[in-house]
Amino acid sequence: MEKLHSKQFIIRFMVVGILLVSLFCLFLSKYEMRITEFDTSTCIRLTEEDGAVYQMIYAAKGYNNFKRKIIVETSGYAYIAGKETNDVGIHVLLTNLRTGVTYKMPTFMGTRPDITEAAGDGINYDNCAFQSGVYTKDESFMNDRFAISILYETGDEKYIIETDAFLE
């Protein structure tokens, strides 16, 4: 009887382990966790004059406790005035000013109901928050200057919101 209980325990333990690994793999496939090159040629460029609204806080180029280099950590919000944010994707972009290559950073989105309230125009901007961070051991990212912009995707349209932020 005791052997039967220990076999059942082992089987349950293995099933739970397999489920946890499967969920973790599903999570990783949904959220891209690495910096990738991004082609900006099909994107529409926007500035604040075009109705782009954003606020971004960022910290750049340092070291964390694990001795990995921090390229940039960002958080903030972005939306296009008059367009709801129900079905948008937001990513932070870094453009290397020496090479011209643009990189899309892994970015997590969140909700900010206070932004909808502050806008006061009756449009839902709740899903406009983002947070991103890139850590690397690659020295090449530490030596160049980068422009920071925001990729704003809604439906088939891709917008790049130009910011005045740079990594030195």
Same domain, 85 and 41: yes
Same domain, 56 and 139: yes
Same domain, 107 and 136: yes
Same domain, 51 and 6: no
Using an 8 Å Cβ cutoff, are 148 and 92 in contact?
yes
Q: Which domain holds residue 123?
A: 36-167
Same domain, 60 and 10: no
**Model confidence over 101-160: pLDDT tens digits?**
999 988 889 999 999 999 999 999 999 999 988 766 666 666 788 899 999 998 889 999
- CATH code of 88's domain: 2.60.40
- Give the confidence band of 164 by pLDDT, cuts at 50, 70, 90: confident
Same domain, 26 and 78: no
Confidence (pLDDT) at 160: 94
Distances (CA, A) of 135 to 29, 45, 68, 92, 164: 19, 27, 6, 14, 22
- Give the confidence band of 11 by pLDDT, cuts at 50, 70, 90: confident
Same domain, 82 and 19: no
**Model confidence over 63-107: pLDDT tens digits?**
555 555 666 788 899 999 998 888 899 999 989 999 999 999 888
Confidence (pLDDT) at 41: 93
Specify the number of domains making up the chain.
Answer: 2
All residues at 6 or more sequence positions from 52 whose CB lies less than 8 Å from its CB, including other chains: 46, 78, 79, 80, 81, 152, 159, 161, 162
Q: In which element (H, E) is residue 16 found?
A: helix 2-30
Same domain, 84 and 107: yes
Same domain, 137 and 71: yes
Token code pair at residue 113? 């109901």
Token code pair at residue 38? 């991004």
